Amino acid sequence: MASYEYVSPEQLAGFDKYKYSAVDTNPLSLYVMHPFWNTVVKVFPTWLAPNLITFCGFLLVVFNFLLMAYFDPDFYASAPGHKHVPDWVWIVVGILNFMAYTLDGVDGKQARRTNSSTPLGELFDHGLDSWSCVYFVVTVYSIFGRGASGVSVFVLYLLLWVVLFSFILSHWEKYNTGILFLPWGYDISQVTISFVYIVTAVVGVEAWYEPFLFNFLYRDLFTAMIIGCALCVTLPMSLLNFFRSYKNNTLKHNSVYEAVVPFFSPCLLFILSTAWILLSPSDILELHPRIFYLMVGTAFANSTCQLIVCQMSSTRCPTLNWLLLPLFATVMVVNVGVTPYVESILLFTLTAAFTLAHVHYGVRVVKQLSNHFHIYPFSLRKPNSDLGVEEKNIGL
């Protein structure tokens, strides 16, 4: 199992033919962020591998998640009458979040700057982005938290799913059209939330208790922005791009079934995780919301990574993810009836298993593609191969 190969020979052959194709029409990205990133990338030495930049950005997002988990483990720190998160933490989180966003924006520019672009670089970038979704959303939750002035853990669970489906829509588009249409919501949310973190440090979480318009609270604005962006921007643009490809007869999958296969695993994950919440005898989401979110987000990231591999290699997406099997079994056990202690153990065990499985998947896929393209994943130095390829300044 340690040396299991997740990428099939057919997919490896597909990666050999892969050509990057993306469209970015977001004014914020085009006229503000890209000029900024073009300046920032010049700071990095030319020997620095783009994948290392990508990985550092991901680690910053995870660090923010862990830092906030320490100061706000149960999401009550921002509620009235509770000990609040120190102001300096909000500043650190805000700065690191913008740094992570910046690193995510310059890694591709570093690859082109050093003539080291490869399919693995794109897969590595988007794969980590899919896992970052849960860390980002859960960290943002601490701004409002739960309680009288916050958002319930179940509402946040639903908002997390709105973000997750918004993310996978872009890769579903590319799976069907061959073109990655970069979503507008990503850049807007990253810049806005980084700013809100800093503002929270200045004005305090108490400022978010007050209504900003009539009886419309800031928490309601937070909820409305996420849902509104998904329903009014992301979804319509995805469907429009799909329809245009259909009209131009450029869709890669002609049947409706094949076109929607990438949604099967995420939808089943949503059904099973929601069933667990509703059937839970100990109200598991209220008891361990952070762990439950992480479990869902990790399983989702694994399914999304498999989709990205398939859309980049022009192969068929798997119908179901095997990680759903232990989740299904867990839901069945919970439905029969277990003690709160046993249910908690099941959640922690499942989350640990999903995390280890996903890390194993990522490590093995990176290893396979590194060997296939004869490159080091975190270095611009090319290893000597049995084919006698000379060592050159090339990599991910």
Residues annotated as part of the active site: 126
- Give dist(CA 271, CA 11) in Å, integer: 30
Name the burial class of residue 281, with classes exposed (0-12), middle (13-18) and buried (19+) by CB atoms within 10 angstroms of its CB.
middle
Q: Of 290, 393, 268, which is closest to residue 344 (Cα–Cα)? A: 290
Sign of the dihedral defined by the CA atoms of residues 121, 123, 127, 129, in that order: positive
- Give dist(CA 254, CA 233) in Å, integer: 26
Question: What are the structure tokens assigned to 292, written together?
Answer: 């439950």
> Residue 113 in contact with residue 45, Cβ under 8 Å?
no
- Give dist(CA 97, CA 57) in Å, integer: 9
CA-based R_g, the chain, Å: 22
- Give dist(CA 320, CA 333) in Å, integer: 21
Go through the chain and tell me how many residues it has.
Answer: 396
> Residue 167 in contact with residue 133, Cβ under 8 Å?
yes
Query: How many Cα atoms occupy the beta-carbon half-sphere of 181 within 13 Å?
Result: 23
- Give dist(CA 143, CA 203) in Å, integer: 12
Q: How far is CA 188 from the centre of its chain?
A: 16
Q: Of 13, 111, 94, which is closest to residue 393 (Cα–Cα)? A: 111
